[in-house]
Amino acid sequence: MDTTDQFENGPSAHLSWDELACNNGVPYPVRWRHSRAIPMSLVFESIRQIIGGPIKVNSAYRTIEYNRAVGGSRKSQHTEGRALDLGLPRGMLTMDFLAVVLEVARHPSMHSINLNIPKLTGIGVYPTFIHIDTRPGVRLVRWNGARVAAELIRAA
């Protein structure tokens, strides 16, 4: 498949524009496709490569209204098109998945064909998913979330 066809479907081989769209149906903003979606997809692909299989994207881009409706942070990287909430891969415990994500955060280019992989700068750990983002900056921001995201409750 040539890269033109691939870009029409999504920013990378295993991440589609449909997966990046807001869960309310609003598409991922075209203006951020090159500057935000592609760098984020490189991080996603690096994590997926280590896992060796599919990873479900529970949430990606969110409109401000949708983010508010699901109880997201006012400064959420989802509203900036820089975040993914990744479901736990089949058969993996949260801490095992977190170990993979942290490995990519610590050594980004080691796990990617692309040596210009952006830095993973946000990691949130929740009971049923891990949030990753590529917010501006060089410092890794980490947090633990106890609540189950309202999006997951609505999706069930």
Give the CATH number, domain containing residue 133: 3.30.1380.10
User: pLDDT for 43-58, tens place per residue?
Assistant: 999 999 999 999 999 9
Q: Give CA–CA dist 85/149, Å, rounded.
A: 10
| The pLDDT value given to residue 113 | 56
User: What's this model's pTM, rounded to 2 decimal places?
Assistant: 0.87
Contact 59, 124 (CB under 8 A): no
Task: Take residue 114 and report the two structure tokens written for it.
Answer: 């692309």
Task: Take residue 147 and report the two structure tokens written for it.
Answer: 């609540």
| The pLDDT value given to residue 155 | 43
User: pLDDT for 71-123, tens place per residue?
Assistant: 999 999 999 999 999 999 999 999 999 999 999 998 866 655 555 667 899 99
* Buried/exposed code over 16-39 (b: 16+ C-beta within 10 A; e: otherwise): ebebbbbbeeeebbeebbeebbbb
Domain count, the chain: 1
Residue 25 belongs to domain spanning: 3-155
- Band the pLDDT of 138: cuts 50, 70, 90: confident
